DNA sequence: GATACTTCGTGTGATAAATACACTTTCAAA
DNA sequence: TTTGAAAGTGTATTTATCACACGAAGTATC
């Protein structure tokens, strides 16, 4: 069996929660109708799963120290059913008939700092609203959906939200992030009480600049 | 790469939380020093991961409808380091050098109903106190440890404890189970308030029998 | 049938967390 | 100086959490 890692990369642009998709690579010769997919690759011979996930991320961007979490193994023998998927496998895989198990990871990147690598192995990349994902290759829609559920869970339990924000952020930005991930409105005062109680962030001696209203206190992760 | 499923089977005997271990099978010819391990097997060609886990359980017992949950993929390329492990692989695996990824599941069985199958593929089975596990084959100590952490988590979140108890149980039994899994004492009155509030169990019109004290109300899962 | 033994089953007050809710402050721009 | 826009803050209510002790109901024994 082949084993791959697929990485659901989340980013946040102050307005929507996005997922990074790549255009599947095309052969130079034939024209193949491409699909979008979550970045992923086969695990190499001497590589742990975590290392594979890290490598895949670094093939897309040069960021280091990105938040990465394994969340589920997808092993249905029929997870590759689509015609296009099989065509693609026949074109790009040494053993196209071989069953592929994939380990799902999700990662949180600061969109502000994200620069896709020029010569990215994967060709074009897209940031797509997580609540409006097109039909993807393989079982990637299911993978993204499950990643979102797990992210919600972990956001509540471990307050990792700031991983999606710039180093310095305001509590309003953080609140908006929570609201969008959890898909519900939160009360401002209660939200602040909660976040400050968890002590996952600390106030800086610094304020927002260049806004046309009262500038907010900046925070950073503790 | 080969893919296996390893199943951490939990059972509860009213006193201790136990894990099911098997004696690794031996070749008929040579004498190999055996080790204990968590039941597991390679995933078959046309089998999903969940199906593989189910099959492994059913090779040990004839119980159906057992609670099963995937909890983590263990993919370190060096997860099989021990000499004995490599010896064992050379004896029993078609491709002993091949790297093995394993998907960890845990399952909850009613010890009262558990009868190991006569001709179990795995030879002898043992129920071992989860807090006193001997040194196991491969990375199985790590797998068991992580399974316990995940079980604790899920016990708190989803109140699945009764899966380890007979159909009919008293709240005291349930409380003891919680205390042992979470490894801390709980207050009786508060515990009962909590459990009843979650509405995961319902009272039967029936009482405990054959005890030499006031018989307790029996409950069952809702 | 009285007594001893064992576990069952229950309530209250104190403290902490969750929720609902609205107005003043501070800055930039016009 | 006025306006617009988001920042920042407090209180009362409800709900959970926690600590804590005793009478009730059954069995066994004498």
Per-residue confidence (pLDDT) for residue B34, from 0 to 100: 84
Per-residue confidence (pLDDT) for residue A2, from 0 to 100: 95
B150 to A75, B95, B118: CA distances (angstroms): 20, 32, 31
B174 to A38, A158, B186: CA distances (angstroms): 44, 28, 11
Looking at domain B2-158, does it have CATH number 3.30.70.1900?
Answer: no
Do the chains contact at B101 and A49, CB–CB below 8 Å? Answer: yes
With beta carbons under 8 A apart, name residues in chain A contacting B153: none
Q: Which CATH number fits domain B166-221: 1.10.10.10, 3.40.50.720, 3.40.50.620, 3.40.920.10?
A: 1.10.10.10
Counting residues of chain B whose pLDDT is more than 70, the rounded percentage is 98
Q: How far apart are CA A140 and CA A137, in angstroms?
A: 6
Q: From the candidates B75, B149, B150, B152, which should be mutated to test the interface with A, based on the most A CB atoms within 10 A? A: B75
For B205, the token pair is 């019109």
Shortest CA gap A205–chain B (Å): 38
B window 30-49: Cβ near strand C (< 7 A): none
Shortest CA gap B49–chain A (Å): 6
Question: Which band of pLDDT confidence, cut at 50, 70 and 90, is reported for residue B185?
Answer: very high
| Average pLDDT estimate for B199-209 | 94
Per-residue confidence (pLDDT) for residue A26, from 0 to 100: 77
For A103, the token pair is 């380990």
B70 CB within 8 Å of a chain A CB:
yes
B208 to A18, B164, B173, B198, B200: CA distances (angstroms): 56, 18, 11, 23, 20
Question: Which band of pLDDT confidence, cut at 50, 70 and 90, is reported for residue B113?
Answer: confident
A70 CB within 8 Å of a chain B CB:
yes
Strands (E) in B75-134, as ranges, are: 100-108, 125-129
Q: How far apart are CA B162 and CA B220, in angstroms?
A: 8
Which has more pLDDT, B31 or A11? A11
Q: Find tokens 């394994």 and name the residue.
A: A70
The boundaries of every CATH 3.90.79.10 domain in chain B are 2-158
Per-residue confidence (pLDDT) for residue A114, from 0 to 100: 87
Q: How far apart are CA B52 and CA A87, in angstroms?
A: 28
The boundaries of every CATH 1.10.10.10 domain in chain B are 166-221
Q: B66-82: per-residue pLDDT in tens?
A: 999 999 999 999 999 89
Helices (H), B30-187: 49-60, 83-92, 140-158, 171-182
For B222, the token pair is 């809702």
Mean pLDDT (chain B, rounded): 93
Do the chains contact at B43 and A1, CB–CB below 8 Å? Answer: yes
Instruction: Give the strand pairing for A40-42 and A2-12.
Output: antiparallel
Per-residue confidence (pLDDT) for residue B64, from 0 to 100: 84
Is the distance between the Cβ of B111 and the closest atom of strand C smaller than 7 Å?
no
Which has more pLDDT, A89 or A116? A89
Among B86-100, B120-134, B154-168, B180-194, which stretch is predicted with the lowest mean pLDDT? B120-134
Is the distance between the Cβ of A189 and the closest atom of strand D smaller than 7 Å?
yes
With beta carbons under 8 A apart, name residues in chain B contacting A47: 77
Question: Which band of pLDDT confidence, cut at 50, 70 and 90, is reported for residue B119?
Answer: low
With beta carbons under 8 A apart, name residues in chain A contacting B101: 3, 43, 49, 101
Instruction: Out of A48, A75, A77, name the one closest to residue B103 (CB).
Output: A75
CA B46 to chain centre: 25
B44 CB within 8 Å of a chain A CB:
no
Per-residue confidence (pLDDT) for residue B114, from 0 to 100: 87
| Average pLDDT estimate for B188-198 | 96
A55 CB within 8 Å of a chain B CB:
no
User: Comparing C-alpha atoms, which of A101, A104, A143 is closest to residue B3?
Assistant: A101
Among A116-130, B86-100, B179-193, which stretch is predicted with the lowest mean pLDDT? A116-130
Is the distance between the Cβ of B144 and the closest atom of strand C smaller than 7 Å?
no
Mean pLDDT (chain A, rounded): 93
Q: Does residue A120 surpass a pLDDT of 60?
A: no
Question: Which band of pLDDT confidence, cut at 50, 70 and 90, is reported for residue B120?
Answer: low
| Average pLDDT estimate for A199-206 | 94
Per-residue confidence (pLDDT) for residue B20, from 0 to 100: 95
C1' of nucleotide D27: residue with nearest CA: B212
Closest chain B residue to the Cα of A105, Cα to Cα: B73
Q: Are B165 and B173 in contact (CB under 8 A)?
A: yes
Bridge partners (DSSP) of residue A113 are: none
| Average pLDDT estimate for A13-27 | 90
Which phi and psi (to 5°) does residue B199 adopt? 60, 40
Which has more pLDDT, B53 or B24? B53
Instruction: Out of A2, A47, A75, name the one closest to residue B49 (CB).
Output: A75
| Average pLDDT estimate for B83-111 | 94
Q: Find tokens 């689509």 and name the residue.
A: A82
Q: Does residue B132 surpass a pLDDT of 70?
A: yes
The boundaries of every CATH 1.10.10.10 domain in chain A are 167-221
Q: Is B132 exposed, middle or buried (0-12, 13-18, 19+ CB in 10 A)?
A: exposed
For A159, the token pair is 């307050």
**Torsion sign across C-alpha atoms A194, A200, A205, A208:** negative
Q: Does residue B31 surpass a pLDDT of 90?
A: no
| Residue pairs spanning A and B at CB distance below 8 A | 48
Counting residues of chain B whose pLDDT is more than 90, the rounded percentage is 82
A101 to A64, A132, A139, B140, B169: CA distances (angstroms): 27, 26, 11, 21, 40
Q: Does residue A105 surpass a pLDDT of 90?
A: yes
Write the CATH number of the domain with boundaries A167-221.
Answer: 1.10.10.10
C1' of nucleotide D11: residue with nearest CA: A189
A6 to A78, A91, A142: CA distances (angstroms): 17, 19, 12
Is the distance between the Cβ of B185 and the closest atom of strand D smaller than 7 Å?
no
Do the chains contact at A73 and B70, CB–CB below 8 Å? Answer: yes
Q: A43-92: per-residue pLDDT in tens?
A: 999 999 999 999 999 988 888 889 999 999 999 999 998 989 999 999 99
Q: Which of residues 77-136 of B touch A (CB under 8 A)?
A: 77, 99, 101, 103
Q: Does residue A39 surpass a pLDDT of 90?
A: yes
Strand C nucleotides within a 7 Å radius of protein CB atoms? 5-12, 17-22, 25-29
Q: Does residue A117 surpass a pLDDT of 80?
A: no
Close Cβ partners of B82 (under 8 Å, ≥ 6 residues apart):
B137, B138
| Average pLDDT estimate for B4-28 | 92
Q: Does residue A119 surpass a pLDDT of 70?
A: no
């Amino acid at each position: 069996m082949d084993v791959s890692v697929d990485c659901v990369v989340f980013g946040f642009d102050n307005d929507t929660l996005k997922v990074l998709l790549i255009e599947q690579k095309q052969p130079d010769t034939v024209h193949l109708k491409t699909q979008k997919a979550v970045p992923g690759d086969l695990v190499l011979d001497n590589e742990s799963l975590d290392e594979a996930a890290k490598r895949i991320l670094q093939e897309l961007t040069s960021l280091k120290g990105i938040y990465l979490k394994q969340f589920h193994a997808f092993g249905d023998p029929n997870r590759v059913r689509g015609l296009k998927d099989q065509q693609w496998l026949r074109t790009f895989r040494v053993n196209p008939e071989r069953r592929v198990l994939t380990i799902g990871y999700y990662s949180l990147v600061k969109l502000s700092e994200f620069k896709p690598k020029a010569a990215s192995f994967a060709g074009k990349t897209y940031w797509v609203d997580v609540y409006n994902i097109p039909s993807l290759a393989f079982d990637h829609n299911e993978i993204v959906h499950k990643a979102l559920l797990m992210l919600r869970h972990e956001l509540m339990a471990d307050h990792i939200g700031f991983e999606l924000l710039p180093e310095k952020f305001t509590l309003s930005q953080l609140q908006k992030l929570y609201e969008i991930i959890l898909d519900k409105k939160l009360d401002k005062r209660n939200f602040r009480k909660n976040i400050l109680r968890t002590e996952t962030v600390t106030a800086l001696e610094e304020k927002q600049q260049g806004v046309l209203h009262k500038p907010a206190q900046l925070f950073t992760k503790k």
